[in-house]
Structure 1
Amino acid sequence: MCCYTRRHWITLRMIRSILLLGTLVGLSMGEIYYTVNCTGSEDIYQYNATLLDGSATINFGDYRGKVFVIYNVASFCGMTNATYHQINYLASKFAEDDFLIIGFPCDNFGQLEPASSYDEIVNGVKYVRPGGGFVANLTYFEKIDVNGDNEHPIYTYLKQANCPYTDTEFRTGLFYSPERVSDVRWNWEKFLIAKDGKPYKRYHYSTMDPAYLEDDIAYLLSQ
């Protein structure tokens, strides 16, 4: 029979403590679904939104036959740099295709999009984050709420288009009410729309690597 020294017992207790802590942390973090499929039958073409510079209201029917991604953007988020680089990579990769990227500024999460005007947001991206003269290759629409009583109809539609939620947990720092299971969970969640105007996939906000979207976009463009 093996005998344990005091040192061994201390080591075993530490291991058990680490395992217990890992279990508790795992439970508190909930589950993340980086990519979820959408199965709704209604298209987005009946909706419209105003461009951020106020120059026009766009009927999404104008995008018929195109593949596009919709982001809720924020200038002061920790994921801003990486996600803007993702956007420009995808825009460049599919520049010769019927593909576009749409951004809706949103202040629902941590109030990380305090700016409202086109000039404020574009100049913030150009000179602050990512900075260095960065120009985002996307179409900016009006600043909106994506959750809560004042959410934009496009987001009500997107969340009800059989696109399941991407995270079982809600973060702190939410500036809207009420909270609903279908809610966008944070800045930079994404919806990919197919050529027929129907949502194809929804992506968790942490999917900042272009690889999460690149193959799906290529597939839809090939259809």
Structure 2
Amino acid sequence: MSIHEFTVKSIDGKEISLSDYAGKLVLIVNTASKCGFTPQYEELESLYSRYRDRDFVILGFPCNQFLNQEPESNEKIQEFCRLTYGVSFPMFAKVEVNGAGASPLFAYLTSQKPFQGFDLKHPIGKKLDEILSSENENYAEGNDIKWNFTKFLIGKNGEVIVRYEPTTGISEIEDNIKRILNGK
């Protein structure tokens, strides 16, 4: 199985087969507009602009499952992303990433790569660990996405290579992208 077997809705409601991205290195991100990690949109757009001509694409999937940090409509999300961060990479309709209503794509992604733990040296990482462990001391177990801006790097064949938690620096992700695009 690979991501190429899934169909998703674009942010403007069109059905999109992820097989359209076969042969590309793909970074899938669950996003939110009112999150401490929202400024990552700018870093992601910069990453996309540097590598999009080298068969690399970022796919953004808004999600409102974490403290109601993406309450807006798809139209307002698209406008916010474009006007505030200049996002030009493909954005998709709002989805759930965990639980019974989880998008089949995200159920697949999380089944392929478990939670990696937050970088506790990251200022938000320590806070997230405190918040989530106070709600459930076993929060780190399992494959569920724990917060917004979790990322999955997908190979050109559609298989999941690695999962990045939101506290992973963009430079680390970029290093992996460069390495893969350079055939190493």
Matched, 1:92 2:42: no
- Whether the 8 Å CA contact 1:87–1:137 is kept in 2: the answer is no
Maintained 8 Å contact 1:185/1:205: no
Among the aligned pairs, what percent are the same residue? 33
Q: Does residue 110 in structure 1 map to residue 67 in structure 2?
A: yes
RMSD, aligned CA: 2.2
Counterpart among 186, 189, 196 of residue 147 in structure 2: 186
Counterpart CA distance in 2 for 1:154 and 1:143 is 13
Going from structure 1 to structure 2, the CA distance change for 1:155 and 1:180 (only over 3 Å counts) comes to: farther
Q: Which residue of 2 aligns with 1:74?
A: 32
Letter paired with 1:158: L
Q: Is residue 125 from structure 1 mapped to residue 81 from structure 2 by the alignment? A: yes
Aligned counterpart, 2:174: 214
Tell me the CA shift for residue 166 of structure 1.
Answer: 2.0
Unaligned runs of 5+ residues in structure 1 are: 1-41
Residue type at the aligned position of 1:48: T
In 2, Cα distance between equivalents of 1:92 and 1:52:
20
Relative to the length of structure 2, the TM-score reads 0.83
- TM-score, normalised with respect to structure 1: 0.69
Who wins on radius of gyration, i.e. which is larger?
1
Structure with greater helix share of residues: 2
Q: Distance in 2 between matches of 1:112 and 1:46?
A: 29
Structure 2 gaps, min length 5:
119-128
Q: Is 1:146 paired with 2:92?
A: no
Task: State the one-letter code of the partner of 1:215.
Answer: D
Runs of 4+ in 1 over 6 A off after TM superposition: none
The alignment of Structure 1 onto Structure 2 pairs a total of residues equal to: 168
Instruction: Report the counterpart of residue 171 of structure 1 in structure 2.
Output: 132
